[in-house]
Structure formats: structure tokens, C-alpha cells
């Protein structure tokens, strides 16, 4: 039976050496909690459900003991350990993962290290994870890879298992392209291409998803359509899946007798004072010192709260081996001492500071007891503490003060949202929170609690995996549309047996690659020879269906004796005949539109203006890709408004915006030609949006092929112009006959 293979840097337990052997201690954390909730439900609903978790066990295990540990982990915990050396941990985990990617993705570029040795370790360790996954993988399994430590793994697995179902989820922010561009070229290209080895890429917020798609476009040149990226005959999708928590676990725990007892003990300790609660790992992204500065500003601005409030600050030790974190701990200690020394007394300690991890009961007791939670990271992928605080409030009271830089702020808009960099905002939010009536607290919290309950950890995992299955199914449909060798043979046989054939071929992007300038895309000798050979074997007609003007087509293909349709259907010329207009057309509108296009040529370096008899075009293939795309959207908006009362239409093609007469399109021209020939075999090939009119107009039994993009009304698709030429050559060879 197909299984779920979860892959993360760490296993859901840590291996610890003990007297007499190795033992395992359960790990905590948002990912483990979220997936544990989902896995428990999946197993309860389906006794045949299987999952294997691949990851590092958190310790350097001697080679002689690895086989035994792996067997025990697989049998007892359904886990498959990946063993790393101390050098690997130093260079891969502490190095590239946490000294390069972590600060860069959290907008701390001055902390980023660019160490080739660490990059090499990152590549090598991702390959170790690949080998481990391949050891446990069975055909049909779903592989779900997690987080920034394993960004190369999806592509590495894809190279080994082309048909595997692979998902990737990033649990930290994905930064803007301005940050990604700081990485060396090969690194950023491999990281982005690595992630796109996955069928589905998930992020916590829409902002992160858009940053990723933007970076893919800027770095790799791959554009998207509604989050879908076409890579050859495959489609990758990037989407948003905000991770949830086990809401019921916290809501139920808040009334558990052990938690109520712990809450009573804590309440005695604060002697009736109002409690402000905060818990975080020790990390520069959490903004803990900024939070202390905000609390200090609160005590300065609002002295009436002196001796009436206590700030319970819990900091969980993290990455203690890193010098930078040691300096941070020292600075934190100094700030706590300074504030307590400045405002405290023998009866009142403003900050109750703990540098340790909390057990679950103490954590929920503090959540439930505190009338205010101060959660203000400088940058955070999601921040589940904010969600846990709300879930631990059965009576819906309490006030969440949340940083706008946390991903959770996109979901928890009823909280008091602050900029964590400004002490005055934190101070004012504390004043508002501590004085907020219970009715307002409940009015704010209940909608947030309802959302958290509806989209909990189980729903998050189900949503991702269901979407992954849909993406894979869509790819299967696209794969069947890809023009296989067998289907090409069948088409060639139909072509050879046809009484009258009609071949309709777009030119740019279909028969030749795109050129930087339109006039540079003249046909090569191979293409001219191929079309000539095909014309000699075709009983009916071959038509080049192009957006180019008739003079250019006549100049390039006049000697080949093929039919031509110019300017997207405005002009039609059968072989050996004169050009004729499809319908009576006006061109006086060009005088009004041309100045607008010329303005954009002047504004956007590298863009070109092209005038044809019945159309105008603005080309931006040579422009900066982002600037060109942005200006194209602006131009389309402007032209659409300006031409509202004119009998013209505005089209967007591949790196071109074109204005032409209404009612003129490739489909109408093709129908005219087909009505005159009455063919029993029709083949049409094109590569952009203007060819969709052609595909829609064809009869159901016609062979229609879209080159490049998989999203089309065409029945089949091919990768590029080389595939098209090979198909035409096969038609020539199959038809037989002498030249």
C-alpha cells in the first residue's frame, strides 16, 4: 500500500547515549506537533495507513551502531535515521542552513555567511537524505519534504524518481528577490530549481508564495500562471497553506486538573498582579530585546501600572554552540537586570525571567492565566505561540499583541498588531490590552478561535496532501496530452491516408525560436527545405498562420509555394494566388494608437515598436523581464480604456502587446480556408494566446498542438520548435513518394 514518507532535518525524537546503549527522547516543536496530530487522525481512520519519517536523529552515532539504531527506529517509531558526521552538522546545519539561509530568509543580510565549504556540505548532505529516502521509497509513495535545510532534495529525488509524488513545505519566510539576489548565482539557481523538483511547494502566507514565484521568474526566467509553473511537460504549483495547531488539545488542556493546579500556583506567585506573557527560542529573529525596550517604554509612559503588572519572559535555549547566540544571551540578561533595577522594588520585580524550556502544563497554565500575550518577532514564518495562546482561552478573554512581521498576523487580524521595531507601539498596545473590557476581548478572540479550530494542524496537513494529489492528477492528464512517439506515428498514418490535408502552422516560437528582434527570425535552410518537402507530399494545403505582415512572409516563403495567413488573419493568400483581405478593415485608428506605443518604447529600454497594415505591436523581449511585464500590464490597461469606443482589440502575446481590428483572428481565417478545401485531415500547431482562437475554431477531430505552455484548448502539446520540426519530418517520411 502507498505510504506517506515525511522528510525533515530532524526526526520526531532525539537519540541520546545512555548507559547500556542509545535511547530516544521525543522532540517538541510546531512541525512535530502538527504532523503528529495529522498522523494520529490518519491512523485512527485507516488501520492500513503507513508513514515513514526520514531525518537526522540529533546526535553523531558511531558507524558500528548505526545499523542497530536504524532497525530499532524503524520498528518502534516508523523512522529512518540519516546519520551525519560532526563535520556535516557543523558545515551543513550550523553552517549553510543557519549561518546563510536562516539570516537571509529572515531579513538579516548582515549576518549572512558566504562559505563555499558550507555550500558544498549542504549539497552533500541533501544527497545523503536523497539516498536515505530512496532506500525506503516504494512506487506510489507520497514524499513530503520540510523546510530550508532540504531545498535541494526535491530536484535530487526527481532526478532519481521522475514519476514520484513530491511535496515541499517551507516553514520560514521566503524573502523578496532583493534578498535572494545576494546569493551567488549558482547557489540561488540550484536552490530555486531544487525546490521546483517538488510537484507542490507550500508556504505559510500569500506574500511568501509571491516572493518565491517572483524569484523564480527573476532568477530562472520561469513565469507562472496563477501559481502554476510549466517546466517542459510537467507543471509545478506554489500555493499558500498556513500551518495550524492542535486546537482541541490546548482548549481541553486549559481545564485539565493538572493545568488548573499549576495555574493556581503561578497565580499565587504573582500576587494578584496582571500578567504579560512571552515565550520564545533564543534567536535574533524573535526581537526579544526590542520587546524589553517596549516594556520599558510602557513603564515610563504609564507609571500607573507600576507594581500592578508582571512581565513573565521565558526564553528557551537554542543553538548554544553559536557565538552570536551567546552574545545575544548576555545582552538579554543585561536588559532584564537594567529594567528590574530601574523600576523594581523589594515588593515588585517587573520582569520574571526564565531561561529554560517549559513543560506543556506550565506553558498552557501561563497562556490561560495571562490577560495579555506579547508576541513580537522581528520576522517569523508563522509563530504558533500566538495561536496556542488563543487556543488556551476557553472563555475567549485575553489580548494578543502580535507583530505585523509574523506570518500569523495575516490570519489573526483582530489581535493588536504592532511594528516590533518601535517601542512606542508596543507600549501603547500594552496599555490598550491591559485596559480592554472583557466584552471587547471576547469579540476579538472568538472569530480568531473559530478560524483556528476550523483550520487546525490536521486540516493543514490534509489540505496540503489533497492539493498535492490534485496537482499530480493534473500532471497525469497533461502527460496524456503530451504528444508521444506512438501518437505521432498515428498522426503520420492518418496524414498519409488522407484525401485532402490542411496543415496550419504558426511561425515564431513554433517553427523557429524567438529572436531578440523580429527581423532576425528569418527561416533557416533546414526549415525551408522541410516545408518544401512537406508541400510536395500534401494533397490540400499548408498555411503559415502568423502575426507577421504579408510582405515579410512573402519575402521569406514566396519560393516555397505554401499558403500564408498574415497579421493574425487579416490577410490570406492561397498558394499561387494573390493576397486578399478576410474582411473590409479600417486602419485610420493607427494614428491615434501609435503615439501611445511609441511613448512606451521611449520609456522602456530595449522595447520595439512594429507597424503592420492593420495592426500595431509593442515588443519587450529584450527588456528587463520584470519591468517589461509590468509595463505590458500598464500598456494593456491604458489601451483597453482608450480603445473602448474603437473597433479594435488589444492582445497579449509572448513578450508582445498588439492592437488589431476586431473580428480578425487566426480561427476565422482557418475556417475560411477549411471551407474552401473541405479537408479530411487537419493539423494545427501554435505557441501563444493568439493561436487559441485557431484551436477553438477547429473541428473536434482536428489535431491541435500547443507548443510550450500546457494550459491550452489544444488537444496535445509539445515542448519546443525542435519537436515540431521532428513531427513534420516524420509526416514527410511516412507519406512516402518521390520528390
Q: Which residues are catalytic?
A: 506
Q: Are strands 228-231 and 200-203 parallel, antiparallel or unpaired?
A: unpaired
DSSP state of 173: P
DSSP state of 174: P
> Which residue's C-alpha cell is 523546510?
147
Q: How many CA atoms lie within 13 A of 627 on its CB side?
A: 11
The alpha carbon of residue 125 and the mean position of all alpha carbons in its chain are separated, in whole angstroms, by 23
Rg (alpha carbons) of the chain, rounded to whole number:
32
The alpha carbon of residue 382 and the mean position of all alpha carbons in its chain are separated, in whole angstroms, by 16
Task: Give the 3-state DSSP-derived string for 110-140, with helices as H, strands as E and coil as C.
Answer: HHCCCCHHHHHHHHHHHHHHHHHHHHHCCCC
End-to-end CA distance of the chain: 57
Task: Name which of 307, 313, 275 is nearest 292 in CA terms.
Answer: 313
Query: The dihedral of CA 640, 643, 647, 650: what is its sign?
Result: negative
Contact 349, 299 (CB under 8 A): no
In order, the DSSP letters of 603-619 are HSTT-EEEE-SSEEEEE
Q: How many residues make up the chain in this entry?
A: 739
Rounded distance, CA 668 to CA 632, Å?
Answer: 26
Rounded distance, CA 262 to CA 456, Å?
Answer: 26
For residue 238, what are the β-bridge partners? Answer: 201
- Main-chain phi, psi angles of 626, to 5 degrees: -70, -45
The alpha carbon of residue 683 and the mean position of all alpha carbons in its chain are separated, in whole angstroms, by 36
- The Cα angle at residue 452 between residues 446 and 456, in degrees rounded to 5: 155
Rounded distance, CA 624 to CA 627, Å?
Answer: 5
Rounded distance, CA 157 to CA 143, Å?
Answer: 10
Coil, helix or strand for 274? strand
> Which residue's C-alpha cell is 545512555?
18
Rounded distance, CA 82 to CA 128, Å?
Answer: 7
Amino acid at each position: 500500500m502507498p505510504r506517506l514518507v515525511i522528510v525533515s532535518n530532524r526526526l520526531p525524537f532525539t537519540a541520546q547515549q545512555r548507559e547500556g546503549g542509545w535511547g530516544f527522547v521525543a522532540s517538541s516543536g510546531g512541525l512535530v506537533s502538527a504532523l503528529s496530530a495529522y498522523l494520529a487522525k490518519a491512523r485512527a481512520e485507516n488501520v492500513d495507513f503507513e508513514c515513514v519519517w526520514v531525518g537526522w536523529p540529533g546526535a553523531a552515532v558511531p558507524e558500528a551502531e548505526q545499523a542497530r539504531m536504524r532497525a530499532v527506529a524503524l520498528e518502534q517509531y516508523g523512522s529512518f535515521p540519516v546519520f551525519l558526521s560532526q563535520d556535516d552538522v557543523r558545515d551543513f546545519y550550523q553552517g549553510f542552513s543557519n549561518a546563510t539561509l536562516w539570516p537571509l530568509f529572515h531579513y538579516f543580510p548582515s549576518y549572512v555567511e558566504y562559505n563555499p565549504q558550507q555550500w558544498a556540505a549542504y549539497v552533500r548532505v541533501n544527497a545523503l537524505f536523497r539516498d536515505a529516502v530512496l532506500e525506503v521509497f516504494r512506487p506510489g509513495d507520497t514524499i513530503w519534504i520540510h523546510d530550508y535545510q532540504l531545498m535541494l532534495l526535491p530536484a535530487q529525488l526527481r532526478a532519481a524518481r521522475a514519476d514520484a509524488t513530491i511535496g515541499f513545505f517551507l516553514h520560514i519566510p521566503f524573502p523578496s528577490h532583493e534578498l535572494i539576489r545576494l546569493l551567488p548565482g549558482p547557489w540561488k539557481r540550484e536552490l530555486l530549481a531544487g525546490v521546483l523538483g517538488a510537484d507542490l511547494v507550500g508556504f505559510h502566507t500569500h506574500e511568501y508564495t509571491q516572493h518565491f514565484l517572483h524569484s523564480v521568474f527573476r532568477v530562472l526566467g520561469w513565469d507562472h500562471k496563477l501559481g502554476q509553473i510549466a517546466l517542459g511537460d510537467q507543471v509545478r504549483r506554489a500555493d499558500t497553506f498556513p500551518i495550524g495547531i492542535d486546537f482541541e488539545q490546548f482548549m481541553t488542556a486549559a481545564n485539565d486538573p493538572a493545568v488548573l493546579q499549576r495555574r493556581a500556583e503561578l497565580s499565587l506567585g504573582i500576587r494578584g498582579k496582571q500578567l504579560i506573557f512571552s515565550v520564545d527560542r533564543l534567536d535574533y529573529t524573535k526581537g526579544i530585546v526590542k520587546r524589553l525596550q517596549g516594556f520599558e517604554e510602557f513603564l515610563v509612559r504609564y507609571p500607573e501600572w507600576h507594581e500592578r503588572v508582571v512581565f513573565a519572559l521565558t526564553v528557551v535555549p537554542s543553538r548554544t554552540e553559536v557565538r552570536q547566540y551567546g552574545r545575544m544571551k548576555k545582552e538579554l540578561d543585561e536588559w532584564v537586570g537594567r529594567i528590574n533595577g530601574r523600576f523594581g522594588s523589594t515588593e515588585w520585580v517587573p520582569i520574571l525571567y526564565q531561561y529554560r524550556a517549559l513543560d506543556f502544563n506550565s506553558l498552557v497554565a501561563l497562556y490561560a492565566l495571562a490577560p495579555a500575550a506579547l508576541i513580537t518577532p522581528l520576522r517569523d514564518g508563522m509563530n504558533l505561540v500566538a495561536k496556542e495562546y488563543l487556543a488556551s482561552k476557553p472563555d475567549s478573554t485575553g489580548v494578543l499583541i502580535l507583530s505585523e512581521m509574523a506570518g500569523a498576523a495575516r490570519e489573526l487580524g483582530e489581535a493588536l498588531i504592532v511594528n516590533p521595531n518601535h517601542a512606542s507601539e508596543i507600549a501603547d498596545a500594552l496599555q490598550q490590552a491591559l485596559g480592554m473590557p472583557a466584552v471587547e476581548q471576547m469579540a476579538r478572540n472568538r472569530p480568531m478561535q473559530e478560524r483556528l479550530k476550523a483550520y487546525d494542524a490536521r486540516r493543514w496537513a490534509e489540505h496540503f496532501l489533497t492539493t498535492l494529489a490534485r496537482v499530480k492528477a493534473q500532471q497525469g492528464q497533461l502527460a496524456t496530452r503530451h504528444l508521444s512517439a506512438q501518437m505521432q506515428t498515428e498522426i503520420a498514418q492518418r496524414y498519409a491516408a488522407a484525401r485532402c490535408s490542411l496543415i496550419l502552422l504558426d511561425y515564431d516560437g513554433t517553427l523557429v525560436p524567438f529572436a531578440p528582434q523580429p527581423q532576425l527570425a528569418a527561416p533557416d535552410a533546414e526549415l525551408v527545405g522541410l516545408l518544401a518537402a512537406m508541400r510536395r507530399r500534401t494533397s490540400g494545403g499548408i498555411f503559415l498562420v502568423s502575426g507577421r505582415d504579408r510582405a515579410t512572409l512573402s519575402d521569406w516563403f514566396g519560393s516555397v509555394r505554401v499558403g500564408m495567413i498574415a497579421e493574425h488573419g487579416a490577410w490570406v493568400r492561397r498558394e499561387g494566388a494573390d493576397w486578399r483581405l478576410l474582411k473590409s478593415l479600417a486602419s485610420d485608428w493607427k494614428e491615434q494608437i501609435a503615439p501611445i506605443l511609441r511613448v512606451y518604447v521611449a520609456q522602456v529600454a530595449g522595447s520595439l515598436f512594429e507597424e503592420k497594415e492593420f495592426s500595431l505591436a509593442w515588443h519587450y523581449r529584450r527588456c528587463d523581464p520584470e519591468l517589461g511585464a509590468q509595463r505590458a500590464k500598464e500598456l494593456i490597461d491604458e489601451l483597453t480604456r482608450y480603445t473602448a469606443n474603437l473597433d479594435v482589440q488589444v492582445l497579449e502575446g509572448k513578450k508582445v502587446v498588439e492592437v488589431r481590428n476586431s473580428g480578425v483572428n487566426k480561427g476565422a481565417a482557418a475556417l475560411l480556408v477549411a471551407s474552401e478545401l473541405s479537408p479530411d485531415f487537419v493539423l494545427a500547431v501554435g505557441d501563444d494566446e493568439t493561436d487559441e482562437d485557431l484551436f477553438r475554431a477547429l473541428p473536434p477531430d482536428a489535431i491541435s498542438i500547443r507548443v510550450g505552455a500546457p494550459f491550452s484548448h489544444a488537444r496535445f502539446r509539445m515542448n519546443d520548435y525542435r519537436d515540431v520540426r521532428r513531427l513534420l519530418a516524420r509526416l514527410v517520411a511516412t507519406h512516402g513518394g518521390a520528390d
